[in-house]
Structure 1
């Protein structure tokens, strides 16, 4: 680990503090205000209401082609929160729960306010879908085996790496497929052992994060600004962070090393091993 903190993609929500360790005064104050409002709502509103009306409304939205990912975009709620109303869900640390039976009023209000007659299914960013397919490949699931388990009309998986966006209903189908297969061995479900082995080798060559890696990071798997550190060595992280400090902060090599808590010779070695991060001004 280094002492460098990656720059958050924006500073208008609590994300920069929660996931990127932002220390800006205005951002910390925003989080405090959010927490204060949350505590106030919890103290003044009924803590929970029945989740059944929300579940039925989500089913109505799904029939109109508006899946959890699209609902997440429209309401600002996490995809996992929405999906938990219609299927069992994970809560990190290996904990698994059944479908939600209770819901906070503010969450229910956001979902129930959606009118399927005025919403188009739309498209969504392809980052999360691509990461899910790659993780399943790393587990031995081949693309043909995955494609035949997706609904008819879904875009071919072999073009997914070229797409920046895809239909929200396709992204939802891939997320559902991921949840269904992540604990299954492909060899026990019709995938030939040789094909599964080749899929795993390809994933290793491309350094694709595994299902185990994403298990505790499901809240950021769809975040295109989140940079997975799977298989990345400490020396590579130092080279990346030093490159950022020098390019964006104007630091020299000695000062960048000091900021990262390493000796300059360590940084020199990191740049030699990963020359793509070295700068002309780094000498």
Structure 2
């Protein structure tokens, strides 16, 4: 049986030594520099399984500068959480500590293995892309102006608002465009007043949150599990909740109202205003 030796795609990280068995002198030296402190600590009985985070932090910052990506993309490419990536580069407010100084060897290896080439073609959840585009429309930016700023095709921008996944490169372009346009007034930057009004009216009909809404929620704008309750009235929420209670427990409207802490009449009015949630009899 023969074993093929794969050629390492690069020679600037320890993975060429560990994963591809590269034995170039400079690569061996790089691995030894990484491994020596760990080996000494193991011999001394002081090894706790953690490594210094400086190299990881430097690598993350280099990826951000060279590729224009953020913690979300790096987390997706490395398979670790976004919060873990953030802790390497930003002090953690409320935790009385600065940036992460040590990390597990496994986490370090995963992040150091992320390369610019590896980011090309990476697909990410489209929630953040979709929400940023919707928010810009809510601010009065027509799709064609968003497309021109992001260097994307007009038709593609509309398509991205319906997708579940997008290329990382697309998500990055949209995120940059959002940061560039979110605080600008469209009519001061070449958008006709009628076009801006039509964009805002469209967003209002769809109940798309504005940039002001997301300003305090940027930590969850990319989270597909987060449900923005923008433009949702209390009566609509009661209609939704009553629908869920009745469907899952089989109770009538009066019992559902009691469980929700409102009157039966309130549930009736909620269902009348939002018939898409109406369920069951009035008994």
State if a TM-score over 0.5 links the two structures.
Answer: yes
69-78 vs 223-232, which moves further: 69-78
Report what 1:106 is aligned to.
Answer: 103
TM-score (norm 2): 0.66
Matched, 1:54 2:60: yes
Question: How far has the Cα of 1:242 moved from its partner?
Answer: 1.0
Distance 1:267 1:80, change over 3 A: farther
Question: How far has the Cα of 1:182 moved from its partner?
Answer: 1.2
Q: Is the 8 A contact 2:119 2:168 kept in 1?
A: no
- Length, aligned pairs only: 226
RMSD value over aligned CA atoms?
Answer: 3.6
Alignment deviations for residues 226-276 of structure 1 (CA, whole Å, 9 cap, x no partner): 322111110100000111111123333222212211112211211122121
Partner residue of 2:81 out of 62, 72, 77? 77
Distance 1:162 1:56, change over 3 A: closer
Report what 1:174 is aligned to.
Answer: 174
Question: How far has the Cα of 1:161 moved from its partner?
Answer: 3.3
TM-score (norm 1): 0.66
Q: Work out which structure has the larger RCO, using CA pairs closer than 8 Å and 6 or more positions apart in sequence.
A: 1
Task: Return 5+ residue gaps in structure 2 as ranges.
Answer: 1-48
Question: How far has the Cα of 1:279 moved from its partner?
Answer: 1.3
Report what 1:206 is aligned to.
Answer: 206
Q: Quick one: distance in 2 between partners of 1:76 and 1:275?
A: 43
Q: How do 1:27-38 and structure 2 match up within 5 A?
A: none
Q: Is the 8 A contact 1:69 1:171 kept in 2?
A: no
Task: Return 5+ residue gaps in structure 1 as ranges.
Answer: 1-43, 93-100
Q: Quick one: distance in 1 between partners of 2:63 and 2:185?
A: 34
Q: Which has the larger radius of gyration?
A: 2
Alignment deviations for residues 88-116 of structure 1 (CA, whole Å, 9 cap, x no partner): x9x99xxxxxxxx9544339835324345
